[in-house]
Structure 1
Amino acid sequence: MKNYFTIATLLVLLSLLGACTSTPSAEPETNTKHLHFLYNFSTNSLDPHVDTSYVPLRAGITETLVRLDEENLTVAPWLAESWESDDGQYWTIQLREDVTFQNGKPMDADAVKASLERALEENVALQNALKIDTIEADGHTLTISLTQPFPEFASELVHPNVAIIDVTEPDIVNHPVGTGPFKLTSFTPGSKLELERYDNYWDGASPLDTVTFAFNEDANARSLALESGQTDIVYRPEVESLETLKAIEGIKVESTGTFRVHQMTMNVERESLKDVNVRRAVDALIDREAIVESILLGHGQVAEGPFLPSLPFAPSYPPRESGLDAAIAHLEKAGYTQQDGVMQKDGEPLTFKLLTYSARADLPLIAQVFQSDAKRIGIDVEIQMIEIPEEYMAANRDWDLTTYSNLTAPRGDAGYYLNATYHPTGALNFSGTDEPELTAIIDELNQTVDQDKRAALSQQAATYVHEQMLNSFVLHPATIVAYNADKVQHWVTTRSEYYMITNKLDVN
């Protein structure tokens, strides 16, 4: 596939000079400790309350009240020291008293209240997720009343969109001021952030002086940037380049299982996909084993549902019917027949518009494999590349399918994914799901405290999704990170994918 290496590589390297490293004026002084990080998603806004790339948190600018303890799959204190509620509806949160924003202002309850209220005002999805009615501030104590009992409220505060910022700053979109170990010095939308150490960071100042957090959605370009020494850490390098990277002295490649699933999101508001048999046919057409081996080169595992099988709230599923014959059988139940090589019903051919995006390099390849297999039974699939899937799917309903990637248990609980993806008010309910039986299960889950009962309800919801084939799940990808281990110290590839640039990172 790479006979064009000489010319293509030269062109990519030239583009990298502009896209990743920018101008010489951004070069750090030789006597400073500098880290260059290259990420796969770009963003044009750093407003932490609405940014779907979560860059402010990942870049170490902002923090949330609580964070995920990935080892124990529980929530742990961060900007909040403690939280408690007797009934799940009225909450008291005690804040740390030694935290300041990067402009030197103290982070007290009034500041946190203002930040939370702005987040609710700017992000309707947060309103639905947090269920906050009123917030009262007193010193370093917050008293929050919810619209209904919600035992898992504290876990929702892990979400990067609930990050705490100083809302009195004039330009939150381009220059948010948070409480993290690094403060922003410049932002080039779609290209990079320049950061410098915040010396008064409450958890200890970073040993790094400066950090460049750059973007490039081309996986091959990211790999070449590490090979050429233009960057120190690459998030999700090109899978085909891994053996080349491993062969370079000093380069370390890490492949870590995450809480993520690649799924085929189905727009159930489209006429053909209203029929569960058509949705089951779509599912049967997905050759999961071949995709894991040929596209991810084994860096992932076949998905049976949204949750990793090892999680306590993942149900057991019956054996899956897959392959072309199974897909045809499902379509016949829906009234379709093959005529002159075309799958049709009442004289109308079955076609799908399939959305995909390049920021996750494997998703367009999955789309192409599906397109090829669908063609074999007479289904025409039109692939459309989009940039920001969440924005496009929410604003447009002219599509049938999307290869999409989602964190399904970033807080060690099923509630986040089920609420966001299948509740009628969910922020990620792009399929248009509105199933009263499923909604009732999720509503009950939201008010259940006992972990065994929560697991049972989560399994019940996931089983319902499977039976109705509201979306189709392809694989659980590993997060792959490659970095210069001779230079970079204390990098951790997290399962949640939230915490990247921390005050522990260092360079030789």
Structure 2
Amino acid sequence: MLGACSSPSSSAKEQGKHISFLYNFSTNSLDPHVDSSYVPIRAGITETLVRLDEDNLTVAPWLAESWEGTDGQNWKIKLRDNVTFQNGKPMTGDAVKASLDRAMTESIAVKNALKIKSIQADGNTLQIVTTQPFPEFISELVNPNTSIIDVTETDVVNKPVGTGPFLLSSFTPGSKLEVKRYDGYWDGASPLDGVTFAFNEDANARSLALRSGQVDIVYRPEIESLDTLNAEPGIKVESTSTFRVHQLTMNMERPALQDVNVRRAMDALIDRQKIVDTILLGHGEAATGPFLPSLPFAPTYEPSPLGADAAVDYLQQAGYSLVNGQMQKDGKPLQLTLLTYPARADLPLIAQVFQSDAKKIGIQVEIRQIDTPEDYMAANRDWDLATYSNLTAPRGDAGYYLNATYHPDGALNFSGAEDPKLTAIIDQLNRTVEPEKRAVLAERAADYVHDNVINSFVLHPSTIVAYNEEKVKNWITTRSEYYMITNKLDVM
């Protein structure tokens, strides 16, 4: 039953100080420039030029020591000295340029996000020119898909060579990877000898693996098991608010959903607080928009009409009526396909609640399970709705989510949104430097999404991590969900 939760090998245990970590998403590729699970950075193999300071919601130096770009288009980035890749080669300006060039070649999403026109390397300094004034350019370099690797290595998919505190020793696609300490790490070698980073999408199996002692840290254990885990001697459960939202993505290319009143009806059917209370057992908060209310650019809204009666009213405005128990228009029943995926255990449950509530007003919803939502939704348009979970401010700014999700060039624009008014607001945001003005534009964009129900926002889940507190030392549950296996992680 445990699958990838099998105990670390005896050789792993014999190598000294070791931690076994169990994650909820599997991956078949460790190419950091395209891997949507961000495993290389989470496992401590790769690093980016800058990182998010989660306490201050600012961008902090990492592989880059400093940067300047007062006009928002011409950027000078000073790299740290004495950084080496895990094969011993120095991290030079040329090597970083080659890595960024590869990231933009391999990923159209990275290319669109960075908007780089040219890169010139001079020793440990990069001169970068963007295609337009882009004040938030540096924050885009927080993206794990911009991780710096040695591109001269031949097998990036199975053995990327980065600058992080751990180098890859083995990788079994879809199952696990083993990493060991890189003694030449620029920020101080890890006290650990190695880490097993395993995958299992079954939340119950993850919880059982921790209780049985097969693993030391579990990311997102089964929520129903939290009371049991809390009662176990030596197990600590942490629940931390993050920059994530669970949303109902609307496929705007589907005829029925092109009517805003149909989208409003879908939104009205979502009983957010009930879902938080019953599915998340209170580990989250109901969402009215994509951003946590505590963020400075998060708008506040008057409550909208919700419930079955409100949904029926919206559908009647769209020309639908209930006939023989079916919601119909022009003799055709309203039938919807709803995508969901098991790696986030609460999403299929949310889908089932939505399906049940829709059935009560005569809407037939077919739930379709998929494995990799980003790949499926990008390649297929044979669906109407999707439960999806998205980081909305992992870089401390609204620009990432708005560009990725609602700009026509956005990597996560699965709704197919292409609204000139909204695009214009986002483009203006991209050109604006002053934080106060950016916050106003971000609110305006979020208001437009809200008023037009381009997507529907369900809840902000807490990130839950459980671990053996009698063994694990210096674990931090981060809000961005990027930084997990670090050189500070240790055992007692």
Shorter-chain TM-score range: over 0.9
2:108 to 104, 124, 127: 124
Q: What secondary structure is seen at the aligned counterpart in 2 of 1:28?
A: helix
1:188 to 172, 183, 187: 172
Q: Does 1:380 find its partner at 2:371?
A: no
Q: Does 1:21 find its partner at 2:9?
A: no
Equivalent position of 2:324 in the other structure: 340
**Paired residue type of 2:61:** P
Equivalent position of 1:35 in the other structure: 19
Q: Distance in 1 between the 2:477 and 2:424 partners?
A: 37
1:465 to 436, 441, 449: 449
Matches within 5 A, 1:318-329: 318-329=302-313
Q: Distance in 1 between the 2:482 and 2:12 partners?
A: 27
1:429 to 413, 436, 439: 413
> Could you tell me whether the CA contact under 8 Å between 2:12 and 2:18 is conserved in 1?
no
Q: Distance in 1 between the 2:127 and 2:157 partners?
A: 28
Q: Distance in 2 between the 1:472 and 1:23 partners?
A: 42
Equivalent position of 1:4 in the other structure: none
Q: Does 1:241 find its partner at 2:225?
A: yes
Q: What secondary structure is seen at the aligned counterpart in 1 of 2:75?
A: strand
Equivalent position of 2:238 in the other structure: 254
Q: Distance in 1 between the 2:9 and 2:401 partners?
A: 43
> Could you tell me whether the CA contact under 8 Å between 2:8 and 2:214 is conserved in 1?
no
- CA drift of 1:82 comes to 0.4
Q: Does 1:488 find its partner at 2:476?
A: no
Q: Does 1:304 find its partner at 2:285?
A: no
TM-score, with length taken from structure 1: 0.96
**Paired residue type of 2:13:** P
Matches within 5 A, 1:35-74: 35-74=19-58
> Could you tell me whether the CA contact under 8 Å between 1:68 and 1:158 is conserved in 2?
yes
Q: What secondary structure is seen at the aligned counterpart in 2 of 1:170?
A: coil
Q: Distance in 2 between the 1:20 and 1:257 partners?
A: 27
2:427 to 443, 452, 470: 443
- CA drift of 1:316 comes to 1.5
The runs of 5 or more residues in structure 1 that have no matched partner are 1-11
Equivalent position of 1:452 in the other structure: 436
Matches within 5 A, 1:261-410: 261-410=245-394
- CA drift of 1:363 comes to 0.1
Equivalent position of 1:3 in the other structure: none
The runs of 5 or more residues in structure 2 that have no matched partner are none
Matches within 5 A, 1:91-102: 91-102=75-86
TM-score, with length taken from structure 2: 0.99
- CA drift of 1:141 comes to 0.3
Identity %: 74
> Could you tell me whether the CA contact under 8 Å between 2:7 and 2:215 is conserved in 1?
no
> Could you tell me whether the CA contact under 8 Å between 1:465 and 1:471 is conserved in 2?
yes
Q: What secondary structure is seen at the aligned counterpart in 2 of 1:381?
A: strand
Q: Distance in 1 between the 2:83 and 2:146 partners?
A: 17
C-alpha distance after superposition, 1:176-226 (max 9, x if no partner): 000000000000000000000000100000000010000000000000000
Q: What secondary structure is seen at the aligned counterpart in 2 of 1:253?
A: strand
Q: What secondary structure is seen at the aligned counterpart in 1 of 2:13?
A: coil
C-alpha distance after superposition, 1:411-457 (max 9, x if no partner): 11000000000000000000000000000000000000011000000
Evaluate the alpha carbon distance shift between residue 20 and residue 94 of structure 1 in structure 2; reply closer, same or farther with a 3 A threshold. Answer: same
Q: Distance in 2 between the 1:236 and 1:26 partners?
A: 27
> Could you tell me whether the CA contact under 8 Å between 1:350 and 1:379 is conserved in 2?
yes
Matches within 5 A, 1:46-195: 46-195=30-179
- CA drift of 1:24 comes to 3.8
Q: What secondary structure is seen at the aligned counterpart in 2 of 1:134?
A: strand
1:228 to 201, 204, 212: 212
Evaluate the alpha carbon distance shift between residue 470 and residue 453 of structure 1 in structure 2; reply closer, same or farther with a 3 A threshold. Answer: same
Q: What secondary structure is seen at the aligned counterpart in 1 of 2:336?
A: strand
Question: How many residues are aligned here?
Answer: 492
- CA drift of 1:262 comes to 0.1
Q: Distance in 2 between the 1:37 and 1:127 partners?
A: 32
Q: Distance in 2 between the 1:278 and 1:105 partners?
A: 57
**Paired residue type of 1:316:** T
Q: Distance in 1 between the 2:199 and 2:335 partners?
A: 35
C-alpha distance after superposition, 1:76-98 (max 9, x if no partner): 00000001012100100000011
C-alpha distance after superposition, 1:357-377 (max 9, x if no partner): 000000000000000000000
> Could you tell me whether the CA contact under 8 Å between 1:20 and 1:192 is conserved in 2?
no
- CA drift of 1:20 comes to 2.3
> Could you tell me whether the CA contact under 8 Å between 1:28 and 1:210 is conserved in 2?
no
Q: Distance in 2 between the 1:20 and 1:136 partners?
A: 46
- CA drift of 1:23 comes to 7.5
